[in-house]
Amino acid sequence: MLFLLSLILLLSPSGDFISPKDMAFLRELTSTVIDSSRILPGDNFPGRNSFFGPNNSGITLIRPGGRDCYPSFWIRDYAMSLESGLINSEEQFGMLVYTAERQADSTWTTASGSLVPLGSIPDHIRINDGLPVFFPGTYSFEGQGSPMWRLPPYGDQYFFIHMVWNYIKSTGKDEILDLDINGKKLIERMGLAFWSVPTEKGSLLLRIDTSFQTCDFGFRDVVTMSGKVAFGSILKYRAAKEMAELLSLHGDRQQAEGYSEMADGISSELPLTFMDDRGFLRASTGISRQPDVWATAFAVYTDALSEPYRTDACNALARAYSEGVMAFQGQIRHVLTTDDFSPETAWEKAAAPVNRYQNGAYWGTPAGWVCYAIYQADRELAKKLAVEFIGHLRTTDFREDPRKGGPYECIFPDGYTQNPVYMTTVTCPYAAFKRIIAIDND
């Protein structure tokens, strides 16, 4: 009997996926980081001159992090943080309307010759005057766009739809879809945003043409890609599912069915277009067509892959973590260390030095997606990654010592850190860990 009991204990999962103590720590840290990222009406950014403030919007805005980094309202980072459940409905409503009011109501060309298509959603919005900036790398409304940026990033259009979907899911107030914003109903604005992004001819997947250079997702806006792109197509998949759900609520079953069929089509195309023989999705089909850790994990997290491709992706991520080529202290690289394009650069073409920022540094933002995917293949391995991630947050916790800045945007083993008190580093993993715990307890 004693032998049998020992065998059962040996074969059983060892305790919680994440301890209640660690989860409470993560929730408190996440809540504090979000609070540090809030800019109340009339407030200035810490350490910044009057160009960036005060907040004259009349509402609370949430920027990408605390302290003095990223002094504007970024749609992407905010939308990615909503699943945490730590942003109240009043704040959500204010920022949703604020964003919708600044959607491009016509196609126009910037002074530098970049194109802003009808329906585009800003990359970020200045808080002192509310002017929308549709391109990364600048805070100038007049100077936005450049030879590098011919189109706005693709992801923000889909994150706008996610903002609406999350608000309705958390409040039940689907009547907001008929809200008039500058002469158009919100549901119309969502459609304009969705269809403003170019796709590959004869395909449902997004495409980047080198003559109209952009990025598919803002967390790779210093990376040059071309051809069909994976991460943006996954965002389109999720947005199509959300549009289908909201249009069904709105009583438009025919349009809802169309979006649902589109999501199914994207799901079918993804593995056939991007998946390599190990189970990773490549980032693109042209420039920088390397196995993409973030896209692979996010595809699993959003249920964009059907079987057997989903299992292949989960197993690929689990192997990469076991082999030590993907993570450092629970933070995740965009590209496996074994798949760097060359000793000089992780991505084939990037405007950042190797092992810095998006070109080889390690990020906390996707850690939860990766944990979620690995959990499907190896629960204990996923637990190990989560413990390492929490451990790093504890040792770098900005609340314990003003000389510390964790959670950082990204890090590297040589001591490099960038942008302290960074929001999605904790909001995205916290949301993913909640989802894993719900499965664990089911």
Domain ranges in the chain? 15-440
Q: What is the pTM of this model?
A: 0.95
The whole-number average pLDDT for the span 166-175 is 97
d(CA 319, CA 322): 5
The whole-number average pLDDT for the span 328-351 is 98
**SS3 per-residue string spanning the chain:** CHHHHHHHHHHCCCCCCCCHHHHHHHHHHHHHHHHHHEECCCCCCCCCCHHHCCCCCCCCEECCECCCCCCCEEHHHHHHCHHHCCCCHHHHHHHHHHHHCCCCCCCEECCCCCEECCCCCCCEECCCCCCEECCCCCCCCCCCCCCCCCCCCCHHHHHHHHHHHHHHHHHCCHHHHHCEECCEEHHHHHHHHHHCCCECCCCCCEEECHHHCCCCCHHHCCECCCEEEHHHHHHHHHHHHHHHHHHHHCCCHHHHHHHHHHHHHHHHHHHHHHECCCCCEECECCCCCCECHHHHHHHHHCCCCCCCHHHHHHHHHHHHHHCCCCEECCEEECCCHHHCCECCECCCCECCCCCECCECCEECCCHHHHHHHHHHHCHHHHHHHHHHHHHHHHHHECCCCCCCCECCCEECCCCCEECCCECHHHHHHHHHHHHHHHHHCC
Helix/strand/coil percent split, the chain, to 5: 45, 10, 40
d(CA 22, CA 377): 23
With 90 as the cut, is the pLDDT of residue 338 above it? yes
The whole-number average pLDDT for the span 381-408 is 97
The whole-number average pLDDT for the span 349-359 is 97
The whole-number average pLDDT for the span 350-370 is 98
pLDDT at 10: 37
pLDDT at 11: 37
With 60 as the cut, is the pLDDT of residue 41 above it? yes
Please tell me the least confidently modeled range out of 40-54, 205-219, 362-376. Answer: 40-54
User: H helices within 172-308, ranges in order?
Assistant: 186-195, 230-249, 253-274, 293-301
Please tell me the least confidently modeled range out of 43-57, 328-342, 351-365, 419-433. Answer: 43-57
With 50 as the cut, is the pLDDT of residue 343 above it? yes
pLDDT at 49: 60
The whole-number average pLDDT for the span 258-275 is 98
User: H helices within 14-82, ranges in order?
Assistant: 20-37, 75-80
HSE, CB side, 13 Å, CA atoms: give it for residue 392.
27
Residue 367 near residue 331, CB atoms below 8 Å? yes
Query: Is 15-440 a CATH 1.50.10.10 domain?
Result: yes
Q: How confident is the model at residue 48 (pLDDT cuts 50, 70, 90)?
A: low
The pLDDT tens digits for 362-372 are 999 999 999 99
Average pLDDT, the chain: 94
With 90 as the cut, is the pLDDT of residue 383 above it? yes
Q: How confident is the model at residue 1 (pLDDT cuts 50, 70, 90)?
A: very low
Q: What percent of the chain has pLDDT over 90?
A: 88
First to last CA, the chain: 29
The pLDDT tens digits for 107-134 are 999 998 999 999 999 999 999 999 999 9
Count CB atoms within 10 A of the CB of residue 435. 15
Closest CA to 275 of 205, 352, 221: 205
Q: What percent of the chain has pLDDT over 70?
A: 95
Q: How confident is the model at residue 231 (pLDDT cuts 50, 70, 90)?
A: very high
The whole-number average pLDDT for the span 57-62 is 96
d(CA 60, CA 43): 9
The whole-number average pLDDT for the span 51-78 is 92
Helix (H, G, I), strand (E, B) or coil at 29: helix
Q: How confident is the model at residue 8 (pLDDT cuts 50, 70, 90)?
A: very low
